[in-house]
Homo-oligomer: A and B are copies of this chain.
Amino acid sequence: MTDPSVQPAITFGPRVRKSPFFSATRRYGCKAYSVYNHTYMPLYYESPEADFWRLVRDVTLWDVACQRQVEITGPDATRFTQLLTPRNLSNCAVGQCKYLLIADEDGGIVNDPVLLRLAEDRFWLSLSDSDVLLWAKGVARHAGLDVSLREPDVSPLQVQGPKSAALMRDLFGAWIDELRYFWCRETELDGIPLVVSRTGWSSERGYEVYLSDGAQGDRLWEMIMAAGRPHDIAPGAPSGIRRIEGAMLSYGADMTLAENPFELGFGRLVDLDMDADYIGKAALRRIAAEGAARRLVGLEIGGPPLSAGNEEPWPLRAGSAAVGRLTSCVHSPRLEKNIGLAIVAVAHAEEGGRLEVETPGGALEATVVPTPFYDPKKTLAAG
């Protein structure tokens, strides 16, 4: 029997894919990894807290090659892409990006990718952690639409933080200032083929740089690092602290196939009235008519700092009644509070409601509060 507080290792093997930036992340001292879309994903360098402060004060470079892409091309690419999502794409211009949900027949969430429209008939879905290529291929089998589906050799980096705009201008030139929120552009850097978008998963100013030639990963990483030095760049990774402050959801934790868009407050991503068909339409109409039984809410949680967050969903109680689960939580060193996201029965979803969180260390008091927990510029409203 061994001390379970000793942190086990991750072992690197050929079953899980390495990002084109993997060697760089090892060289720069990444201390912990997970696996995302069958690909190693860096989690932090100095520490989750130290990385957070670099993200919100300076600029950070993240290997998120694990955000694999599904490319949809062919004469029916537009119709097929619309078939996959309840979001109305009729106003999605070439060069535009859209955050959207992919739902199954029951309205359950298969994935929450960012869509990039690169041409009239060429789309990328930049994925969270599920095999959307298999889903899309399965759907396409009998859909009667002329499309090609594949995972291209495309690996995103994120350049996130308040100094990201200055860094990106140094690298790419003045057009970066004209790149609007949730728009993208195909470009290159010293011959390396790229797409740059003004998107990201930080709630800070930021960009994504999609590398279209995996062999150039190390060179691209070092070019961005070199250009970033005057801007105090640091290696980083998706920040659990910052994304919960911004109430950005994490697929697998805060939403799964068992949740629907209305439970998550994503009604704006569902068009119940459009003529075009999409998967889940009938179920989502029914759910909208009946009203969702649960709702995602923000919680402030008492007790000592929950710096390590929750290892698994924690049950929520109101008195003796089970009313839901805490899906993600963390201690925000900026807010000096424990904050979290939870899915609770609607009767307990009102602001100011008091709940109890059952943690492995005992019960903690929690209060339902509005989200985002921190959002000086309301950058989340658009997209």
Cα A233 to Cα B318 in complex, Å, equals: 44
Q: Is the CB of B8 within 8 A of A8?
A: no
Q: Is the CB of A32 within 8 A of B8?
A: yes
Cα A4 to Cα B266 in complex, Å, equals: 42
Determine if A110 is an interface residue (Cβ-Cβ < 8 Å): yes
With contacts A1-B27, A33-B8 taken as known, whether A13 is within 8 angstroms of B131 at the C-beta atoms is no
Q: Is the CB of A105 within 8 A of B137?
A: yes
Residue of B nearest to A330 (CB): B13
Q: Closest CB-CB distance, A4 to chain B, in whole Å?
A: 4
Determine if A172 is an interface residue (Cβ-Cβ < 8 Å): no
Q: Is the CB of B43 within 8 A of A141?
A: no
Bits for A5-36, please: 1 = Cβ < 8 Å to B, else 0.
Answer: 00111111111101000000011111111110
With contacts A1-B29, A130-B131 taken as known, whether A14 is within 8 angstroms of B141 at the C-beta atoms is no
Cα A310 to Cα B13 in complex, Å, equals: 6
Interface centre among A13, A35, A253, A312 (most CB of B within 10 A): A13
Cα A242 to Cα B332 in complex, Å, equals: 46
Which one of B34, B139, B312 contacts A10 once the chains associate, using CB atoms below 8 Å? B34
The A interface is mostly helix, strand or loop, or mixed, namely loop
Which one of B16, B34, B141 contacts A142 once the chains associate, using CB atoms below 8 Å? B141
Cα A137 to Cα B110 in complex, Å, equals: 11
- For the complex formed by this chain, how many copies does it contain in all? 2
Q: Is the CB of B1 within 8 A of A253?
A: no
Q: Closest CB-CB distance, A241 to chain B, in whole Å?
A: 13
Residues of B within 8 A of A9 (CB): 7-10, 31-33
Q: Is the CB of B4 within 8 A of A26?
A: yes
Cα A15 to Cα B253 in complex, Å, equals: 4
8 Å CB interface, A229-256 against B: 240, 250-253
Cα A10 to Cα B224 in complex, Å, equals: 27
With contacts A137-B104, A252-B38, A279-B141 taken as known, whether A10 is within 8 angstroms of B8 at the C-beta atoms is yes
Cα A196 to Cα B44 in complex, Å, equals: 41
Determine if A136 is an interface residue (Cβ-Cβ < 8 Å): yes
Residues of B within 8 A of A134 (CB): 104, 110, 130-132, 134-135, 138
Determine if A143 is an interface residue (Cβ-Cβ < 8 Å): yes
Cα A251 to Cα B104 in complex, Å, equals: 26
Cα A115 to Cα B130 in complex, Å, equals: 22
With contacts A2-B28, A27-B4, A131-B131 taken as known, whether A14 is within 8 angstroms of B253 at the C-beta atoms is yes
Determine if A313 is an interface residue (Cβ-Cβ < 8 Å): yes
Q: Closest CB-CB distance, A313 to chain B, in whole Å?
A: 6
Determine if A328 is an interface residue (Cβ-Cβ < 8 Å): yes
Determine if A356 is an interface residue (Cβ-Cβ < 8 Å): no
Residue of B nearest to A328 (CB): B14
Residues of B within 8 A of A105 (CB): 137, 141
Which one of B7, B12, B34 contacts A35 once the chains associate, using CB atoms below 8 Å? B34
Cα A312 to Cα B134 in complex, Å, equals: 23
Residue of B nearest to A44 (CB): B11
Residues on A facing B (Cβ under 8 Å):
1-2, 4, 7-16, 18, 26-35, 38, 43-44, 104-105, 110, 129-143, 240, 250-253, 257, 279, 309-313, 327-328
Give me the 8 closest cross-chain CB pairs, A-B, nearest first: A138-B138, A142-B142, A2-B29, A35-B35, A131-B131, A10-B10, A134-B135, A15-B252
